[in-house]
Structure 1
Amino acid sequence: MNKLRNTVVFIIVALAIGVAVAFFTTGNALTEEITTIRFGHGSAESNERHIAVMHFKELVEGKSDGQIEVQVYPNEQLGSEAEMIESVTFNDLQMVAASAFSQYDQRISVFELPYLFDTYEEAWDVLDGEIGKEVAAPFLEDNLRIIAYFENGFRHITANKNIENPEDLRGLKIRTPEFPISISTFSSLGANPTPMAFGELYMGLQQGTVDAQENPIANTYASKFNEVQDYLIMSSHQYMPLPVAISEEFWQSLTAKEQAIIEESALEAAQFHRNLLTENEEKMIEELEEAGMTIVYPDTELFKERIDRVYEAFKGRFGDEFVDQVIQAAE
């Protein structure tokens, strides 16, 4: 009987231990549930933007020991830039890297004023400083928390004719993004700005719907516009950052540790993107020239003489003080 009783006791203890192990294992599994971030952007997989977003994914997943998963959707898979930003406002998408934030607050377009910056370093100092934070703050009202500024770069013109001064732009049908400052800039230079979705641009150039386009070197290179354009004009007419935003609703659902990992990784990836793009630009220009493009370096002072009204219009809307503050910071 004692032997039987001891056996029963042993079985009961073993079962109890098993239940306890199962309970604590299940509890840990619940506390270590994976957090998923869906991250959309509009560039091709060959673009530095995608490489930078994938670097962000690597950083976040590494720092979180795999407890935060980043799913990346490039090449406008989830819609246009404007549509993806809207998805973030609804918390249907967690993160986006895009340029079309001015639809919610046009003050962010101040960075796009023509010839505001002469160098990348000038732009980065402003974006990473108090003005960058000040401009980002109003987007919280639309559920958009801007946590970093990735790189879009300086924009340059491609065309099937040589362009050395504003007179060469007169009447030229040039594709621009549907941003007020982009349209205003080329109108002031005498061109005929024609907004068109980026995904339609190659065919638009190929079919002659538009005669020219303007984009950062990386976009021109990755999209192979050299196949349908003969000239690359190094106009440097606008600088554009690439804000990276996360849904504020999603952000508030995260732990402080998760927030720190994401923000830290975004800032690291932003600098990675900046370095990658600037280091590769010269090589991309050389390869575009080898592929048959003629590289033109116009006298940009001639273009700067024509853009006063763009500044006046922006000041008229948002005030001299705000614009002058940005100009002073850029200097």
Structure 2
Amino acid sequence: MILLTLSLAGSIVAAFVASDNVAITNDVTTIRVGHEQAETNDRHLAMMEFKELVEEKSQGEMEVLVYPNAQLGSEPEMIESVTLNDLQMVAATAFTQYDQRISVFELPYLFDSYEEAWNVLDGEVGQDMADLFLEDDLRILAYFENGFRHVTSNRPIESPEDLSGLVIRTPEFPISLSTFNAMGANPTPMAFGELYTALQQGTVDAQENPIANAYTSNFQEVQEYLNLTSHQYMPLPVAINEDFWQSLSTEEQEILNNSAEEAAQFHRETQRENEEKMLAELEEDGMEIVEPDTSLFEDEIDPVYNSFRQAYGDELVDRIIEAANE
């Protein structure tokens, strides 16, 4: 009986070999990935596409568990968990806490179209930005879509004057804060999970986000206007812990890399296709769509570029502007 018990115990231990919170069960490697948006958001749909691709390509030898709705913490918390290999992967925007230079993609009115942004992200500049994070054990596999950001409010925003004194929630990103300061607003950083209640209670007057985030968060219930300011484009890096990555076989790495790139393309196409539908549904729900002359806002943003150039040099800014123009 003792020998039998020891034998069974050994089998159980062998079946659940844990390495840095990664469970390997019957030769199946489980990868946990977190993000902040709801299950109805295109971001979650893209991560489920990634899960399906990985599991199909690996013939079931790799399993991806997706945790939406900030179940595993805020974006900064999840990214930190990935640096520690407590979480294997994350889809998030808050990477500036490790290197501010990645915020060059967020300079206001940098890109005129999605295609411009994608060409830069998928090219040499995007790879160079990704390499900056390897020293923090973050390997960016692909840039998913966060999209162009717009302002929702309870008054129409047709010019920078309409932003004057407006208490607007932004993420705690220096570029976001400096952009709205330059346009005369009062930017107030706040976690996304607290935003709906803050809008409902009047803690903040307005917020800015891609259309998909406003739509899936039901901001039309607490905001009257969606103002298509397109003031920033923001990518969504998907990163994996570098130590965990190096523990995988070459074949497993290739599966993850290819699946991330395919899921990124799926996300971009899905979000583009859904935006018009989302706008129509928001309008049906009573939200008024405002299409301001964005050139009026562009005239106010020189201080943002000047500040970034002073902090990180002209070369980085000029290089990305040149890449965008190409």
Deviations 1:218-259 (A, max 9, x none): 000000000000000000000000000000000000000000
Residue 129 of structure 2 is matched in structure 1 by: 135
Question: Residues of 1 paired with 2:58 and 2:84: CA distance?
Answer: 26
Does 2:193 correspond to 1:199? yes
* Partner residue in 2 for 1:320: 314
* Residue 284 of structure 2 corresponds to residue 285 of structure 1: no
Residue 148, structure 1, aligned to residue 139, structure 2:
no
Task: Determine whether 1:208 maps to 2:208.
Answer: no
Out of 116, 122, 132, the residue aligned to residue 110 of structure 2 is: 116
Higher helix share: 1
Query: Which residue, out of 73, 79, 83, partners 1:85?
Result: 79
- Residues 31 and 169 of structure 1, relative CA distance in 2, 3 Å threshold: closer
Structure 1 residues 161-172: aligned runs within 5 Å: 161-172=155-166
Within the candidate set 173, 179, 182, 1:179 is matched to: 173
Q: Secondary structure at the match of 2:132?
A: helix
User: 2:222 aligned with 1:228, yes or no?
Assistant: yes
The match for 2:293 among 287, 299, 315 is: 299
Q: Aligned residues, how many?
A: 304
Q: Structure 1 residue 31: deviation in Å?
A: 11
TM-score by length of 2: 0.92
Equivalence for 1:125: 119
Spell out the pairing of 1:48-63 with structure 2 (5 A cutoff). Answer: 48-63=42-57
Could you tell me how far apart the structure 2 residues matched to 1:318 and 1:140 are? 19
Alignment of 1:256 with 2:261, yes or no, is no
Deviation at 1:305, TM superposition (A): 0.3
> Residue 268 of structure 1 aligns to which amino acid in structure 2?
E
Q: Secondary structure in 1 aligned to 2:208?
A: strand
Cα deviation 1:36-83 (Å, max 9, x = unaligned): 100000000000000000000000000001000001110100000000
Deviation >2 Å, runs of 4+: none
Deviation at 1:171, TM superposition (A): 0.1
* AA at the equivalent of 1:120: Y
Unaligned runs of 5+ in 2: 1-13, 15-23
Query: Helix, strand or coil for the counterpart of 1:206?
Result: helix
The whole-number CA distance in structure 1 between the counterparts of 2:264 and 2:211 is 18
- Output aligned runs, 1:90-101, within 5 Å: 90-101=84-95
Compute the displacement of 1:191 (Å).
0.2
CA deviation after TM superposition for structure 1 residue 32, in Å: 6.2
1:104 matched residue in structure 2: 98
1:270 Cα shift?
0.1
Letter in 2 for 1:328: E
Q: Could you tell me which residue of structure 2 aligns to residue 74 of structure 1?
A: 68
**For each residue in 1:92-145, what CA deviation from the matched residue of structure 2 results, as whole angstroms up to 9, or x when unmatched?**
000000000000001100000000001000000000000000011010000000
Distance in 1, Cα, partners of 2:206 & 2:34: 28
User: How many angstroms apart in 2 are the aligned matches of 1:299 and 1:90?
Assistant: 45
The residue number in structure 2 matching 1:245 is 239
SS at match of 1:161: coil
> What is the CA–CA distance in structure 2 between the aligned matches of 1:147 and 1:253, rounded to whole Å?
16
| DSSP-derived class of the 1:240 partner | strand
Deviation at 1:152, TM superposition (A): 0.1
Q: Quick one: distance in 1 between partners of 2:315 and 2:92?
A: 27
AA of the residue aligned to 2:107: L
CA distance in 2, matches of 1:57, 1:31: 17
Relative distance call for 1:31 and 1:280 in structure 2 (3 A) is closer
User: Normalized against structure 1, the TM-score is what?
Assistant: 0.91
Identity %: 71
Give the aligned CA root-mean-square deviation in angstroms. 1.3
Query: Helix, strand or coil: the match of 1:261?
Result: helix
Match of 1:218 among 212, 221, 238: 212
2:59 corresponds to: 65
State the 1:180 CA deviation: 0.3
